[in-house]
A = this chain, B = another copy of it.
Amino acid sequence: MDVAEQVVEENDPNLETPFVAEMLKQLRSLDSYDTYDGWSKAKIIDPLVLTKERKQEIPVIGDPDEITLARVKAYYNAIASSIEKDCGLMAVSFINITHEGFGRALIMVGKLIVVDKTLRDIHRFGFANLDKMCDQSDKLISKAKTLIEQYSEAAND
């Protein structure tokens, strides 16, 4: 459990965006011990926000722990799920992380790779604030949509 003081405001308007809603759904689905029972949206999403201060507390080199890996998975699952909703085709995320916290995240639609991200410093996975999380996610989703339109036959295969 994260003991740091919560930085996400309870009334942050980003909490009501479709992407954060999807992200919360994915985080809850990976919460096998029901840790989040009774938690507010802001409290659940809070550990994904890595302010400068929080970042400084994490060593530059480190192994990602289980909970960080679960957050990375939740994030790419949320991206995949958003793409799926947008284009009506199944999107599957596929993540490879080495013990040193490096790796690659793919999202596939049919035979098409619509997201391909090199992952670095996964033990410090997070976003400066919810605005940034929404912006970056929207970019990935919109780039994926463009690829699906461009290569629609491969995406539909």
Contacts and interface: CB of A to CB of B under 8 A. Distances in A.
Interface size class of A (residues with CB under 8 A): 10 to 19
A149 to B, nearest CB: 12
Q: How many copies does the complex hold?
A: 2
A106 B153 CA distance: 19
A96 to B, nearest CB: 6
Contacts of A108: 106, 113
A113 B157 CA distance: 10
Given A111-B147, A112-B113, 5 more contacts: A94-B96, A95-B96, A111-B113, A111-B151, A151-B153
Interface of A: 94-96, 104, 106, 108, 111-114, 116, 147, 150-151, 153-154, 157
